[in-house]
Amino acid sequence: MIIHSQRYPQRVRNELRFRELTVLRVERAGSGFQRIVLGGEQLEGFTSRGFDDHTKVFFPQPGSHFVPPTVTDEGIVWGDGPRPASRDYTPIYDASRHELVVDFYIHDGGVASHWAVNAQVGDTLTIGGPRGSLVVPEDYAWQLYVCDESGMPALRRRLEALSLFAVRPKVTAVVMVADAAYEDYLAHLSGFDIQWVIGHNPQALHDKLALLTVADEDYFIWLTGEGEVVKSLMERYATGNIDQQRVRAQAYWHKK
């Protein structure tokens, strides 16, 4: 494995497109996740180069049909009528099968969760983007990933890619979940140091992270989850000699 210690993640832009896709399969991806496999002609040209890319998913009211907006030189043109609720999700694209997978974390009160649980083959779903990607080199020698359930699909996508390396980098993932049963979502991934914090306890998360020492060079740190938790994680890794260009921090949701 060749290491280039000064490489940084790079942002790339994608052509913004809205696509109306069809549900091909509905599967259970572990105790806490519902997997929706999407396809269709409009998936042609789809690209997602960043493991934690965001695709906007639209959820119209039952019985209504959402007409996707069009993209012009002047911007996005929305059709008549109210816009449906939308949420951002990690796209997992399988180019060989020409299928797009979206894994939904199942929880009470969620618009997306409710749709995913009730989805059936043949249903349609509109997505937009990803508008851009942060392409993070895969071969940093030392890598740390911190997330809760909301970031687990992106973490899974990343670890599945890293598992293909003949010589893997040193990877530690610290995952905070409400229920230990959710660990099965990553159970197929061996050879990585995956540490679990059971219960949404930010202090327990910080206590576990305090036991880890960031490498002196050639490292990458990924921090996601609830907004206030991510803020506290950013403060933890904003000190010392940590290069902020190798820290990716993003809130995936906010407490109401």
**Helix/strand/coil (H/E/C) assignment for every residue in 167-184:** CCCEEEEEEEECCHHHHH
- Last residue of a domain, which of 93, 116, 132? 132
Listed residue (188, 206, 187) closest to 197, CA to CA: 206
* 5 has a pLDDT exceeding 60: no
Give the CATH number, domain containing residue 107: 2.40.30.10
Give the CATH number, domain containing residue 155: 3.40.50.80
* 2 has a pLDDT exceeding 80: no
Same domain, 145 and 185: yes
Q: What's the average model confidence in pLDDT over 218-234?
A: 97
* Residue 5: inside a domain: no
Domain that holds residue 83: 11-132
Q: What's the average model confidence in pLDDT over 49-73?
A: 88
Q: Which residues pair with 251 in a beta bridge?
A: 225
Same domain, 148 and 183: yes
Q: Which two tokens stand for residue 58?
A: 């639209």
**pLDDT tens sequence across 153-190:** 999 999 999 999 988 999 999 999 999 999 999 999 99
The pLDDT confidence band at residue 1, using thresholds 50, 70 and 90, is: very low
Same domain, 120 and 224: no
Same domain, 15 and 128: yes
Which range is least confidently modeled, 62-66, 101-105, 136-140, 202-206? 62-66
* Residue 249: inside a domain: yes
**CB of 58 within 8 A of CB of 10?**
no
The pLDDT confidence band at residue 234, using thresholds 50, 70 and 90, is: very high
* 88 has a pLDDT exceeding 70: yes
User: Does this model's pTM top 0.75?
Assistant: yes
Q: Which residues of 82-121 are buried (b: 16+ CB within 10 A; e: fewer)?
A: eeeebbbbbbbbeeeeebbbbbbbbeeebebbbbbeebee
Same domain, 126 and 147: no
**pLDDT tens sequence across 92-148:** 999 899 999 999 999 988 899 999 999 999 999 999 999 999 999 999 999 999 999
**pLDDT tens sequence across 141-150:** 999 999 999 9
- Last residue of a domain, which of 132, 165, 196? 132
**pLDDT at 6 (0 to 100):** 58
Same domain, 128 and 224: no
Q: What's the average model confidence in pLDDT over 50-77?
A: 87
Cis geometry, peptide bond prior to residue 130 (ω within 30 degrees of 0):
yes
Distance CA 57, CA 64 (A): 16
* Residue 59: inside a domain: yes
pLDDT, mean over the chain: 93
How many domains are there within the chain?
A: 2
* Residue 6: inside a domain: no
* Residue 2: inside a domain: no
**pLDDT at 131 (0 to 100):** 92
